Structures are given as C-alpha cells and as structure tokens.
Amino acid sequence: MNAKDLLNNSTVVAFVPAISALTGAEVEGAITDLQGKGRKVLMIVNAGTPVGAETLNVVVRESNVATMVVGTPGAIDGAIDATQTIIDLHAGEGVNWPSIDEFSFTIDTETFICTKRVVDRLYVKRAQYGTTAAIHIDDSVLVLYIAVLHTFAEIDVATLTEADLAPNKRYIRVDYTAAVGTSIPVGIAGVIYLEREVPSGI
C-alpha cells in the first residue's frame, strides 16, 4: 500500500490577516480553498495584547462552497424513508441552494451531505456528523448546516495556539469574537499540507 506524505507538500496561508478584533464583534475571515479534500491544516492563532482584560474566541468552520452561499429554508416534496439518497424539493426551491461543490443541511435531527444538486433534486449522504438516519414527512424543512471543526477558546495575551485539522471538505472559514470590553489584535495563519501518494518501501 502507498503511504501519505504530508510534509513535503505545503502551502502557507493567512486565514485572517493581522487585524484588530473590536469590542464584542464577530468577524468572518475569508474562505480558504484547501485545494482538495482530506487535507491537513496546521492553524496558528497569534493574539496580541488586548485592550481590556478579556479574551478572544476563534471558531473554524467548514464552508459549504467557495462563496458564502447560504441556502434559505425549503421543504421536501414527498416523505422519505431512512434509506433514500435522492430528495426532491418543491418546484423552484433548488435555486436557493449551491449547484457546485458539496454542502450540508439538516432535516429535523438528521444531517445530510448533498453531493450534487440537479435543479430541484438533491443527491445525498445520510446520517452525517454523528446523526441518525430517520423517516421525514412530506414538507419537512431543510436548513443549511455548517460544521464546526475546531474552537480556540479564551485566547489571551501573547498566546500562540495550534490545531491539527483534517476537514473533509474543500473550503473552510474562520470567525472570531472579542468579548465585550476588549479590543485585541490578532493574526490567524497556518500551513496546509497537501497529501500525495508515496510508493511502498520509501
């Protein structure tokens, strides 16, 4: 079998450029293209000296597509059982959802990954992110789902934090929030390690 080589194929990126997180603000960083699926990401959060005594919280999320497309709630056209992998939306509702790349959504307590959308029809993987496949009645509502990959909580002055992430989607985005009463300079950078196959025995 071939092994995976992560160390010799790397790209340095700035997930969020050096900027000051304002009091109580939530800021969404640029969406970052991981250049394929199954890539490793080493992310570094470098927080400077805060004005005030509070801290910074940073959340890394999967992004549904390259642009910030957010599906509006829609409904399924016809009940589905716990095994179906094709879902029809009501006529005209498909346009509210991405037509390129995968995206995730929930119906009731089940989370799905849509691998392809053709007009108002979704081709899906069931029971994602630890949820359970279930029966869903006609007109059940679906809502966009964006998974949290990692949370850097309560980063304070002069903190350097790392997380080794392995998102299974192509794009990620970052948001960060400074607590009320705080302004803190922050830069979020990292390295994307691109996998490649290595011949056996090397």
- Kindly calculate the radius of gyration of the chain based on its CA atoms and give it in whole angstroms: 20
Question: Dihedral through CA 158, CA 194, CA 65, CA 123, nearest 10?
Answer: -140
Mean pLDDT on 54-83: 76
pLDDT at 44: 77
Between 165 and 168, the more confident residue is 165
CA angle 20, 188, 178 (to 5 degrees): 40
pLDDT at 137 over 70: yes
> Average pLDDT, stretch 123-148?
92
**pLDDT of res. 46:** 74
Tell me the three state secondary structure of residue 132. coil
Tell me which of 50 and 116 has the higher pLDDT: 116
Q: What is the mean pLDDT of the chain?
A: 76
Q: What is the pLDDT of residue 1?
A: 39
Closest CA relative to residue 112, chosen from 132, 138, 135? 132
Give the model confidence (pLDDT) of 118-133 as tens digits: 999 999 999 998 999 9
pTM of the model: 0.61
Q: What confidence score (pLDDT) does residue 146 get? A: 77
Model confidence band, residue 201 (pLDDT cutoffs 50, 70, 90): low
Kindly list the domain boundaries of the chain, sorted by start residue: 10-62+147-167, 74-145
Which residues have a Cβ under 8 Å from the Cβ of 126 and sit 6 or more positions away?
Answer: 82, 83, 84, 85, 110, 112, 133
Residue in the block written with tokens 């997930």: 15
Query: Is there a contact between 5 and 199 (Cβ–Cβ < 8 Å)?
Result: no
Residue 163 has pLDDT above 60, yes or no: yes
Q: What is the pLDDT of residue 128?
A: 92
